[in-house]
Structure 1
């Protein structure tokens, strides 16, 4: 997202659209997710343990900012199984420690609080995670949780997205009820109209790592960072003008939903396509 989330995604479609539409191999089997553990964090949100180990980050087939593909070693960490919901974010606002984002709809948070909280600036997302005793995930943590260790293109494998497994390409914003889907959808056998099926999960069991809401992560953005990033526990550049956004959203086409796709926006940028999830160290 060189000039904002929507513009960056459109540029990505032109460059990598043909790659995503090409014939793909069968989906990967387990993504290396040989051990998982769920815990409830301070805000009550279930978190998944991502065990220590290496994975391949980036892609030689994507945009220049996704290259080179490189091995990254991460310590163990927990990450939210679901995107932070409107109901959870409302509890945070009710604590009186933060102002509501400009696009916040308190009525929607009451009636469809199971939808992801969207419209947050980077600082809004970071403040929530701090309130919950957590933090935003690093870009590397986010990508490993989304793709596992087998180099898959999307959280569910290599095959192209379709409406049963991802909430994407919805056109213009209508409202939270119509445009977004519940963060836990797909895990209770809900219909395509009201939710997604289990095939959209990542190898570690995380939901909506592609589509629904794109997600802020902690890192500053540098298009050439992969050329110099450390092999162990990379946290991004020490400073910058933009923050990284990952995962694609309800508004995006398939190329932006790839697990390696990197976009960026100024921290003050706000859009109903962008939400977040939190992480924390495994030793907490």
Structure 2
């Protein structure tokens, strides 16, 4: 067995179905009162609309520094500057990899997809094992896939519901002030059992920064198109308003910092 398989996160299959994406326009004034800014600053999340996606798989946890280190050793990606060398310091090896840009996140996915004799553990939302796809094509999730995995179909504000609870996520309110290892917030899992989709580290998605409604065929999923790419989830340094499932953040794809990480996705159809 390829030793990489032991480092791979469990992949959870999200069923193909319709979900509510974004924020209702009527809620923008409330969001501004609760989290700051103006109602206009939340318009990028509107209108809330229905999106239908095919089934896909997404990692139950963010990508670890230890797994990313294999691609660094192979020369597929450079070491994150925060490592100050070719290997992650032991204290952060099990934590989410950070300080990577969008191009490096995609390069890691491409490298991982080419590894021979690689197996992955695939489960459904109840934890039932599923047969893996014949071909493992790892990639970044689209922002629609990310949001569906984070909130389910009912348009909830956070992965666990509509009200924030500081003991369910690693945001500024938690006081942790650093990324957390897998399993630190089991009560904060999404309806599909996905961990750390509120807080911890920002996660790159495949998608360009374009206005709603979301349409996968309008060019926003073109990997060669110039422009800012969407990140999701908030991080440990942000107040919890950024950890809402509908919150959209965007950066130029070459930018990096200690708050930016990634999560694997996998096509299953």
2:172 pairs with 169, 172, 176, which one? 169
Give the distance between the partners of 1:67 and 1:47, measured in 2 at CA: 30
1:234–1:271 distance in 2 versus 1, CA, 3 Å: same
Give the distance between the partners of 1:234 and 1:83, measured in 2 at CA: 28
TM-score, length basis structure 2? 0.76
Give the distance between the partners of 1:81 and 1:105, measured in 2 at CA: 28
2:149 pairs with 140, 145, 151, which one? 145
Give the distance between the partners of 1:250 and 1:279, measured in 2 at CA: 22
1:144-168 Cα offsets, whole Å, 9 max, x none, are 0000011110011111131x21111
Contact 1:140 1:234 survives alignment (8 Å): no
1:67-110 Cα offsets, whole Å, 9 max, x none, are 11000000000111100011111111112222223223456443
1:51 pairs with 15, 26, 38, which one? 15
Kindly indicate whether residue 187 of structure 2 is the aligned counterpart of residue 203 of structure 1: no
Structure 1 residue runs without a partner (length 5+): 1-39, 187-195
The alignment covers a number of residue pairs equal to: 224
Farther-moved stretch of structure 1 (238-247 vs 274-283): 238-247
- Aligned match of 1:97: 76
TM-score, length basis structure 1? 0.73
Give the distance between the partners of 1:99 and 1:64, measured in 2 at CA: 37
| 3-state secondary structure, aligned to 2:82 | coil
1:178–1:64 distance in 2 versus 1, CA, 3 Å: closer
- Aligned match of 1:189: none
Structure 2 residue runs without a partner (length 5+): 29-41, 114-137
Kindly indicate whether residue 220 of structure 2 is the aligned counterpart of residue 236 of structure 1: yes
Give the distance between the partners of 1:81 and 1:235, measured in 2 at CA: 28
- Aligned match of 1:114: 94
1:92–1:270 distance in 2 versus 1, CA, 3 Å: same
CA RMSD of aligned residues (A): 2.4
Contact 2:80 2:98 survives alignment (8 Å): no
Give the distance between the partners of 1:171 and 1:206, measured in 2 at CA: 19
1:257–1:233 distance in 2 versus 1, CA, 3 Å: farther
| 3-state secondary structure, aligned to 1:215 | strand
Farther-moved stretch of structure 1 (111-120 vs 49-58): 111-120
| 3-state secondary structure, aligned to 1:270 | coil
